[in-house]
């Protein structure tokens, strides 16, 4: 199992480098980045974070699929995967539908779009030529000139059982949102089998490092492959979480 910390986008982007360096110094395994509207871009911050460390794995969780054509998403992810091999994990997801409507990107069937988009991105990153005419995704013999030799880990962000089941079908696993009960992980494990489970888990201020490490152990025992600590909306600070995971 790996452990990670979220650099929440409520913190300004100019604070990212210090977070990367602190996580690196503490030997934290993963630093995760959000792409909430209308805060920092997930791909641009991931590129900077990867460049500021030679060790840490960077997770992007999640990229809302209505925002990007899958060919563009695959191009960007392939570039990062080639520049920083073995250090990128990305989750694709529906996005918050209110925000998607706000930018004119909402669709009638978010599940269909997520399926089509993830399937296309995964195939492109694997070096395949994609020729598809779906409900939302249409690609005419598209292939990447620079696919990564080892594609990044590709997850689907999910809350409900239908999306968790889709993650097992079309990706390497699932990113669960705001896990506060190990039973959430156990139910997801029943749906995804041996696929990866990453879990965001909010940590209220005032919890001791021993308490936090005990909670991480509970989630590991429930079947989590990657436990990712995040602050709350009121207290987004990542520093105490990095300290709690320090080796």
The tens digit of pLDDT for each residue in 94-119 reads: 999 999 999 999 999 999 999 999 99
Q: 209: Cβ–Cβ under 8 A, 6 or more apart, which residues?
A: 243, 244
Taking the C-alpha atoms of residue 46 and residue 40, their distance in angstroms, rounded to an integer, is 10
Question: pTM for this structure?
Answer: 0.96
Question: pLDDT (tens digit, 9 = 90+) per residue, 8-43?
Answer: 999 999 999 999 999 999 999 999 999 999 999 999
Question: pLDDT (tens digit, 9 = 90+) per residue, 154-187?
Answer: 999 999 999 999 999 999 999 999 999 999 999 9
Q: Give the containing element (helix H, strand E) for 83.
A: helix 70-83
Taking the C-alpha atoms of residue 70 and residue 50, their distance in angstroms, rounded to an integer, is 22
Query: Mean pLDDT, to the nearest integer, of 203-219?
Result: 95
- Write down the mean pLDDT value for the chain: 97
Nearest partner of 201 among 190, 186, 185, 221, judged by Cα: 185
Question: pLDDT (tens digit, 9 = 90+) per residue, 230-242?
Answer: 999 889 999 999 9
CATH number for position 196: 3.20.20.30
User: Do residues 21 and 46 make contact, with C-beta atoms less than 8 angstroms apart?
Assistant: no
Taking the C-alpha atoms of residue 117 and residue 93, their distance in angstroms, rounded to an integer, is 10
Taking the C-alpha atoms of residue 173 and residue 166, their distance in angstroms, rounded to an integer, is 9
Cα atoms in the Cβ-side hemisphere of radius 13 Å centred on 73:
27
User: Do residues 129 and 149 make contact, with C-beta atoms less than 8 angstroms apart?
Assistant: no
pLDDT beyond 80 at 247? no
User: Do residues 8 and 36 make contact, with C-beta atoms less than 8 angstroms apart?
Assistant: no
User: Do residues 176 and 192 make contact, with C-beta atoms less than 8 angstroms apart?
Assistant: no
> What is the dihedral sign for C-alpha 198, 222, 247, 204?
positive
What is the domain range of residue 213? Answer: 2-245
Split into its structural domains, the chain has a count of 1
User: Do residues 150 and 85 make contact, with C-beta atoms less than 8 angstroms apart?
Assistant: yes
Question: 2-7 and 88-93 as β-strands: parallel, antiparallel, unpaired?
Answer: unpaired
Taking the C-alpha atoms of residue 24 and residue 18, their distance in angstroms, rounded to an integer, is 10
């Amino acid at each position: 199992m790996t452990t990670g910390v979220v650099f929440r986008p409520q913190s300004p982007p100019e604070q990212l480098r210090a977070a990367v360096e602190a996580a690196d110094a503490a030997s934290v395994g993963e630093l995760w980045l959000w792409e909430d509207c209308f805060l920092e871009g997930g791909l641009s911050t991931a590129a900077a974070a990867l460049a500021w460390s030679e060790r840490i794995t960077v997770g992007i969780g999640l990229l809302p699929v209505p925002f990007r054509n899958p060919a563009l998403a695959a191009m960007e992810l392939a570039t990062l995967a080639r520049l920083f091999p073995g250090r990128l994990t990305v989750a694709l997801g529906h996005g918050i539908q209110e925000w998607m409507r706000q930018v004119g990107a909402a669709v009638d069937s978010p599940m269909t779009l997520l399926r089509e988009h993830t399937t296309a991105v995964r195939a492109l990153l694997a070096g395949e030529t994609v020729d598809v005419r779906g409900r939302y995704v249409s690609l005419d013999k598209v292939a990447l000139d620079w696919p990564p030799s080892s594609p990044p880990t590709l997850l689907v962000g999910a809350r409900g059982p239908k999306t968790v089941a889709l993650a097992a079908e079309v990706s390497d696993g699932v990113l669960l949102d705001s896990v506060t009960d190990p039973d959430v992980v156990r139910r997801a494990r029943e749906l995804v089998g041996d696929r990866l489970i990453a879990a965001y888990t909010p940590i209220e201020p005032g919890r001791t490092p021993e308490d936090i490490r005990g909670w991480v152990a509970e989630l590991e025992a429930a079947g989590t492959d990657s436990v990712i600590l995040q602050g709350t909306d009121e207290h987004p600070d990542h520093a105490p979480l990095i300290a709690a995971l320090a080796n």
